């Protein structure tokens, strides 16, 4: 596997040094920034694969950077782990929409941190390597950031795009609404679970064009959540037609 680069954003150099050592031992590349402005530059220049972002930063809190990253098309999918001090800021964390992919409270065990980083990288790895996700005539092209159904381009909003991408990279598996919120919206995002239903509907409608109807790929698992699957009532062979990267 290629070496993954981790960007650490923290204003305390002691912590950065500590993390540099930990990450080095774990075999990760390392780059750092001590404020938001610097961090943004590092993101663009060093193209890290994941960001460890301290919550409390001078010159704009971490959430500011997070928002900015999530707003930009090109950086939206960069996995971010928030580092939160284990004190009263907990309250703040809970009240705000964060949208990070994971978070960890200080102090943390290096082992745990590394495990979470690997987990996140693994999760986004599917998307990294594969520019295109395909199932039969349904193609999600991450390069052009578009969805194709047969010859037609599927009209879908950003959220539906991410939802479909998540589903296509994790097919044949049931996810609860909470799971989907965590994976597609981000952890600590305060959104009603029912909202997922609405986006599922929007996605299903998008997957129905004048000539093709792939809406059945998004299946309801009653009492549990949803699932993306090629086989509903069809033969098991269709299962081997798993989503594949092209």
Can you give the binding site for a second copy, defined by CB under 8 A?
86-87, 89-94, 96-97, 105, 107, 109, 111-112, 115, 122, 125-126, 143-146, 148, 150-153, 157-158, 172-176, 178-179, 182, 221-225, 227, 229, 231-233, 235-237
Give the number of other Cβ atoms within 10 Å of residue 237's Cβ. Answer: 9
- Residue 160 near which of a second copy, DNA, none (CB within 5-8 Å, type-dependent): DNA
How far apart (Å, rounded) are the C-alpha atoms in residues 17 and 202? 46
Answer yes or no whether residue 147 interacts with DNA by CB under 7 A. Answer: no
By CB under 7 A, name the one of 123, 146, 204, 216 that touches DNA: 204
* Sign of the alpha-carbon dihedral angle for 169, 175, 176, 178: negative
| Nearer to a second copy (CB atom), residue 67 or residue 146 | 146
Which one, 122 or 194, has the nearer CB to DNA?
194
Shortest distance (Å) from residue 20 CB to DNA? 26
Question: Among a second copy, DNA, none, what does residue 77 contact (CB within 5–8 Å per kind)?
Answer: none
Contacted entry of a second copy, DNA, none for residue 45, CB cut-off 5 to 8 Å set by kind: none
CB of 161 to DNA, least distance (A): 8
Query: Would you give the DSSP letter of residue 208?
Result: B
- Strands 218-221 and 102-106, how do they pair? unpaired
DSSP codes joined into one string, 3-27? PPEEEEE-S-HHHHHHHHHHHHHTT
Q: Choose the contact partner of 194 out of a second copy, DNA, none; CB within 5 to 8 A by kind.
A: DNA
Burial string for 168-187 (b: 16+ CB within 10 Å, else e) reads: bbbbeeebebebbbbbbbbb
| Secondary structure class of 54 (helix, strand, coil) | strand
Q: How many helices (H) and strands (E) does the chain have?
A: 9, 13
Q: Does 159 bind DNA (CB under 7 A)?
A: yes
């Amino acid at each position: 596997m290629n070496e993954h680069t981790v960007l650490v954003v923290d204003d305390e150099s002691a912590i950065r040094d500590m993390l540099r050592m930990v990450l080095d031992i774990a075999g990760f590349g390392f780059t750092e920034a001590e404020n938001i402005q610097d961090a943004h530059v590092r993101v663009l220049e060093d193209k890290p694969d994941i960001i460890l972002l301290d919550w409390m930063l001078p010159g704009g809190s971490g959430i500011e950077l997070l928002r900015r990253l999530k707003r930009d098309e090109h950086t939206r999918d960069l996995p971010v782990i928030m580092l939160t001090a284990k004190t009263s800021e907990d309250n703040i964390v809970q009240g705000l929409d964060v949208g990070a992919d994971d978070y960890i409270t200080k102090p943390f065990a290096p082992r745990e941190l590394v495990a979470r980083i690997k987990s996140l990288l693994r999760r986004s790895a599917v998307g990294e390597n594969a520019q295109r996700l395909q199932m039969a005539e349904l193609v999600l092209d991450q390069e052009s950031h578009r969805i194709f159904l047969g010859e037609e381009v599927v009209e879908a909003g950003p959220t539906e795009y991410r939802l479909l991408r998540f589903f296509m990279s994790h097919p044949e598996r049931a996810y609860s609404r909470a799971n989907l919120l965590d994976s597609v919206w981000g952890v600590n995002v305060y959104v009603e679970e029912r909202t997922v239903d609405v986006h599922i509907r929007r996605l299903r409608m998008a997957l129905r064009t004048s000539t093709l109807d792939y809406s059945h790929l998004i299946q309801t698992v009653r009492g549990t959540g949803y699932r993306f699957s090629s086989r509903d009532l069809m033969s098991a062979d269709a299962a081997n037609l798993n989503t594949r990267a092209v």
